[in-house]
Amino acid sequence: RGALGSLGKSRAKFISAEETTGVTFDDFAGQEYIKRELQEIVRILQNDEAFQDKGIYCPKGVLLHGPPGTGKTLLAKAIAGEAGLPFFAANGTDFVEMFVGVAAARVKDLFSSARSYAPSIIFIDEIDAIGSKRGGPDIGGGGAEREQGLLQILTEMDGFKVSTAQVLVIGATNRLDILDPALLRKGRFDKIIRVGLPSKDGRLAILKVHARNKFFRSEEEKDNLLQEIAELAVDFTGAELQNILNEAGILTARKDLDYIGREELLEALKRQKGTFATGQEDSTEIPEELKLRLAYREAAVAVLACYYPNPHRPFTETDIRSIRSQPNMCYAEISGKVYSRKSDYVESIVRACAPRVIEEEMFGVDNLCWISAKATLEASRHAEFLILQTGMTAFGKAYYRNQSDLVPHLAVKLEALRDEYMRFAVEKCSSVLNEYHSAVETITDVLLEDGEIKAEEIWDIYRRAPRLPQPTVQPVDEYGALIYAGRWGIHGVSLPGRVTFAPGNVGFAT
């Protein structure tokens, strides 16, 4: 373990090298299928004869993609650790310098170091910094430099022969969509693995890994507490879960206690949540006007969540104690098989509009602020996903990875249809908020008064609120019928002329 002895000194600063990482697959919890897949690669790297005989060779490149903190680096180190191979790591951002030729030279340096220790592992974190699409918008400058670096990676990967004594290149990114397609071709990063946010069971498993070296009153208490935290920590990454336990350990020590208890864990969870925020966790520090905006935002999100309840993610509570660019509403997860119908996608677009629509309505179009800005982005993303990747709209039944896959006339069509959906979503959202305006006001009052509100109370207010009838919102062109049919849960029936529903399935136009 540690830096590679003799080469350690001459090695360029941007490469970190370890003889072996000492990390194993046991250190990574949740998402078992990822481990199974990578285990196979480790066996090939170890020259397992069962594979050699069948002529199975190791992929040259593995690309791990997913949000930061989900364990991509950990997995790369575990592959090296399990196979007992040297590990050479660099960060994509380190390649790009303002000096001409540096990027390509650094890539060369990295590969030649790794090759002299082959078989070995190269890990390039944030590979998108150097491997983004050529000819795309030049974010952050250094475009030509980056292109040289990218070309060098391609050359290096094409250069080495597929053999048993090889170098495996592992890349990590959270922006798969901006990677140059050339990187993803066969013989380069031809194995792409998504590392996503852990499920509830996954979170529990991760917490257990990081609780190994912590003290609890008893095994039973430990299990119960971790179970509770796993349930509460919806959408937390592995890194954040690890932080909760570390923080709880620190709080315990500060109080001079022997064991981590419920109070410390909940406090740590709260603090971890707060790191998403601007640091102003205490509602007394949030300026009054911002508090009012937050309260309206959460109330609008709550009303839409009642109007279009998401069966897969019932909401649990919300508060106005932290300022985030996304709603504070918390959701529970329901395990079991999940499938989404077209109506579910459309409803998610409508729900996502709530922060922006209410802010505009209450504070005026010239007086918007950033706490609703993300909502617009999210709504358009949902719409684009529905149009490009589900084959459920008038756009057609083909699948497109993203907008850059489109030829110009399709890009125009996408924009037109997305605008249609956005128009519908904004109008529908605004109509729901008007209809339930009194519920919005009541929930806002509770939030301003108590700082928080639970699902039960939200439902109660929603059900009892007087409603103001609204005119019908014009649905999205011919496909609008689906939206309403889906909402009423009609399955297995044919609507006159155009739409059919398979039981429990999505509808397609006929």
- List, by residue number, the catalytic residues: 298
Q: Are 349 and 390 in contact (CB under 8 A)?
A: no
Residues 30-49 within binding reach of ligand ADP (CB under 6 A) = 30
Q: Are 168 and 138 in contact (CB under 8 A)?
A: no
Residue with tokens 């993300």: 374
Interface with ligand ADP: number of residues (CB under 6 A): 16
How is residue 133 annotated by DSSP? P
- Residues sharing a CB contact under 8 Å with residue 370, sequence separation 6 or more, in sequence order: 325
Residue 19 to residue 465: CA distance in whole angstroms: 66
Stretch of 107-115, 219-227, 234-242, 488-496 lying at the interface with ligand ADP (CB under 6 A):
234-242
CB of 40 to ligand ADP, least distance (A): 19
How is residue 123 annotated by DSSP? E
| Residues 71-110: x where in contact with ligand ADP by CB under 6 A, - otherwise, as a string | xxxx------------------------------------
Residue 116 to residue 10: CA distance in whole angstroms: 14
| Residues 117-156: x where in contact with ligand ADP by CB under 6 A, - otherwise, as a string | ----------------------------------------
| Residues 163-202: x where in contact with ligand ADP by CB under 6 A, - otherwise, as a string | ---------x------------------------------
Stretch of 182-190, 235-243, 263-271, 465-473 lying at the interface with ligand ADP (CB under 6 A):
235-243
CB of 66 to ligand ADP, least distance (A): 6
Stretch of 62-70, 251-259, 322-330, 345-353 lying at the interface with ligand ADP (CB under 6 A):
62-70
Stretch of 23-31, 41-49, 221-229, 499-507 lying at the interface with ligand ADP (CB under 6 A):
23-31
Residue 309, phi-psi category: left (phi > 0), alpha (psi -120 to 50), beta (remainder): beta
How is residue 184 annotated by DSSP? G
CB of 27 to ligand ADP, least distance (A): 6
Residues 240-269 within binding reach of ligand ADP (CB under 6 A) = 242
User: In angstroms, how far is CA 409 from the centroid of its own chain?
Assistant: 30
Pairing between β-strand 499-501 and β-strand 494-495 as defined by DSSP bridges: antiparallel
Q: Quick check: 63 binds ligand ADP (CB under 6 A)?
A: no
How is residue 45 annotated by DSSP? H
Q: Are 252 and 261 in contact (CB under 8 A)?
A: yes
Helix (H, G, I), strand (E, B) or coil at 162: coil
Closest-approach residue to ligand ADP (CB): 238
b (16+ CB within 10 A) / e for 103-118: bbbbbeebbebbbebb
| Beta-carbon count within 10 A of 271 CB | 15
| Residues 199-218: x where in contact with ligand ADP by CB under 6 A, - otherwise, as a string | -------x--x---------
Q: Judged by CB under 6 A, which of 29, 102, 304, 426 binds ligand ADP? A: 29
Q: Quick check: 62 binds ligand ADP (CB under 6 A)?
A: no
Q: Which is nearer to ligand ADP, 29 or 179 (CB)?
A: 29
Q: Which is nearer to ligand ADP, 193 or 332 (CB)?
A: 193
Stretch of 22-30, 102-110, 141-149, 398-406 lying at the interface with ligand ADP (CB under 6 A):
22-30
CB of 73 to ligand ADP, least distance (A): 3
Q: Which is nearer to ligand ADP, 30 or 142 (CB)?
A: 30
Cite the DSSP H helix spans in 364-403: 373-389
User: Taken in order 166, 167, 172, 173, is the CA torsion positive or negative?
Assistant: negative
Pairing between β-strand 167-173 and β-strand 120-125 as defined by DSSP bridges: parallel
| Beta-carbon count within 10 A of 287 CB | 10
* Binding interface with ligand ADP (CB under 6 A): 28-30, 68-74, 172, 206, 209, 238-239, 242
